[in-house]
Every structure is written in C-alpha cells, then in structure tokens.
Amino acid sequence: MNIDTNFLNGTRFLLALWVAAGHFYLYSGGHNLYKIPLLGSPGIAVDGFMVITGFLMAYQYILRESKEPFDDKYTSIKFIIRRIFRLYPVYFLSIITYVLLFPYIYDNTSEALRYFNNGAEWLKPPGDIQPYSIITHLLFLHGLIPSHVVDILSPTWSLSLEMQFYFLFPSIFVYFFVKHSSNKLIPFIVLTLVVSLIVPKLFGLYLIKGTIAHFEQPSLILYKLPLFLLGMMAASVGLNKLKLSYLFLTVLIIVPFQNKITILLIMLLLLFMFLDSLEKFLNLKIFNALLFVRKSFSGRLSFLGANIAYSIYLFHMIILPFSFNISINKLRFIDGISMNNIVFCSFILFISLTVFCSYLSYKLIEKPFINYGKNVANRFSSKMTIKTISADRIVKK
C-alpha cells in the first residue's frame, strides 16, 4: 500500500502555529473582537500531534527493523536514548528560562489580561513557583500531579503525557503489532477507549491557590492513548504489517467519540496518508486537487517548519507576554489607534519572535543534540555487538 509522510512536515508546522495562535487568541480576548472557533481550541491541534506521534514512532520503528530487530531488547533502549536527546535539551532550556523569567512573565501576563481580556483570572499563571514543581517538570512527572500540570509553562502538560507514551510504546508495539497478537489488538483498542472515557470522570475539580486550574485533572496517557494507537495502526497498515481492516475498525471505534473538529483533522490526516491508494476510487479532478494540497505541505519550507515546530510549541508561551507588553506600551498612546490594530501588531510581533527564536533553538540546540543522541545510540549498539561477539567466541571455545 502506498503511503505519504512528507506532507506531515507542513502539518506539524501548521499545528504548532495553531497552538501558538490559539493561545494568543485566548489571552488577547480574541473572542471579544473576532469569532474564530478553531483558534479558541488549540487542544485539538495537540490531538493531531498525538496521532502523528503514534504514526511516526511506529513508522520509524518498522523502517529500522533490518538494523534494529523488534525482538532485540536493546532496540527499545536505543529508541528511548534518541527520544531523550531529541526532546530534553530544549525542554530543559524552556523550563529553566520560564522559571528565571517568571516574575516578568507573571507581571506582563497580568497586564495583558487586564488590558485585552477583562482580567480573565482563569488564564493567569499561579502566583509563584515551588521548587518541587520545578523538579517534577524536569522529570516529566508534573502531568501525574494535578496541582503541577500547568503551573510552569502550561503547554508542557502534553509532553508529560507523550513521555508516558514513549516509555510504553516499545512494549505495546512488540506485543500487539509484532508477536502474532494482532487478534488482541482490537479488543485492546476498545478497552483503551472505554478507559479514556471513564477515567477523566473519576477526578474532581482541583484548586491552585484558590483558583480553579485551567487543567483540572492530571495529564495521563489513559486519556489520549486511543489517538496514539490510531497513528500506530495507520503506520502498520501503510507499511503492510497489518491488514487495512484493522485500521478501518480502529477508525470506527475511536473516531466517533472525538470532538467534531478532531474527527475532521483525523480524517484529513488519513486521507492524505493514503491518497495514492485512493486514486482509482476518486474523480481525477478531485484527486489532483487533493494531491496539490498535499504537495503544498511537503516543500522545503514545510521541512524547516517541521524542524522548528517543537521549539514553537515550547517557547511561544514565554514570548507571548513580552510581545503583549511591547505592543501595549508602544502603541496604546498613539492617537486614533484601535484595539484591533494593537492586537494585530502584537500578533505579528509574537509570531515573528516565536519563529525566529525557534529557528535559533533548532540550529543551536536541537540539531546538535539530535545528532549526538544518534551517535550515543550507535555507540551503545556497537558495544552490545562487541559483547555479543565476545560471548559467542567464549561459547565456541
């Protein structure tokens, strides 16, 4: 079966910008100026990231099968090494930067909310940062503790959840997608869906210093595991590890229980992934139009966008309050300038600074550590090979 992955570059970039623009829209009181429902729901973009993450993890795992066999116990170790070096350096920098700049971030956020958004107390960060919260964030454990989920750099709630998935992924993949247990896969997906619907209802409201938290529950993999599994299923079907019927059943099980916009996003992702295989079923003009859209997400700019998407996701909430502060203090005293113009100028400044800083982050931090992580994983693999050869020689002697 033919499957395309290049369009995911532009998709990841667009989803990261959606999250950033969505937070700008919420904090600037955009609903008071323009009604743009999509921008008011940046969490849906995160759902898209989760499907894509599940897909890419399984896709890369399968492609590396010849070099890193699924049944080799060191394959999962090398997988974790690469992910840690890919994610942690920029994550660490973003957390430490947020903590160091927190007094300024808090003051500027409060000022922006008063000026743009009638105070919007529910969007304010907690008034201070506790040392144990910093520790839980640096260990990716904050998502398991309701009072810590969003008290430092709120978008990182999803990274705690994704890290839970990374540690579960090798076991899930090997057991359900490799070891002749595919007959148990659909029941497992049904179970995870049921759990994802029930578990959130077991948690009540959580208060942070008297204010209802923006996220009232812990960030658990149990909530979103069906979306990761859907992505894994798409990759396995696309690379002929499973039959198409498995993907079809998974979509029927999971998709109806998602948000309407999430459903649309999922269906578009699957459509563009398997578009080549659908050519004979589609009108030629419709197929060519869809092909054109997919290619527009696959160019060099999209590749660059995919590279900086992670930094955009992490740093935009650090840059946002300073963009508000600059715009408010520089523009509001200009005679005749409207609130709409101030918001627009603030948005342009915010996106420009976010993309620029994210590019620097990718070039100076992400890319070097990604390469270093690959080298560490390769050296780890070489050491294991040497040990194996040595053990074989001993046995032969």
Using CA atoms in the order 187, 192, 193, 197, what is the torsion angle rounded to 10 degrees?
140
Q: What angle do CA 38, 52, 143 make, to 5 degrees?
A: 80
Residue labelled with tokens 């997906």: 189
AA identity, residue 159: L
- Taking the whole predicted model, whether its pTM rises above 0.85 is answered as yes
Dihedral sign (CA 34, 35, 38, 40): positive
Residue 202 is classified by DSSP as G
What backbone phi and psi angles, to 5 degrees, belong to 212?
-65, 130
- Could you read off the pLDDT tens digit of each residue along the chain, which spans 397 residues? 678 899 999 999 999 999 999 999 988 887 777 777 778 788 899 999 999 999 999 999 888 888 887 777 778 888 888 889 999 999 999 999 999 999 999 999 888 888 887 766 667 777 788 899 999 999 999 988 887 888 899 899 999 999 999 989 988 888 887 766 678 889 999 999 999 998 877 775 444 444 444 445 788 898 899 999 999 999 999 998 888 999 999 999 999 999 899 999 999 999 999 999 888 889 999 999 999 999 999 988 999 999 999 999 999 999 999 999 998 888 877 777 888 888 899 999 999 999 999 999 999 999 999 999 888 888 765 455 444 444 444 434 4
CA distance 135 to 141: 8
Alpha carbon distances (Å) from 267 to 48, 53, 66, 247, 251: 11, 16, 31, 12, 9
Three-state DSSP state, 212: strand
Q: In this structure, how many other beta carbons lie within 10 angstroms of the beta carbon of residue 159?
A: 23
Three-state DSSP state, 336: coil
AA identity, residue 310: Y
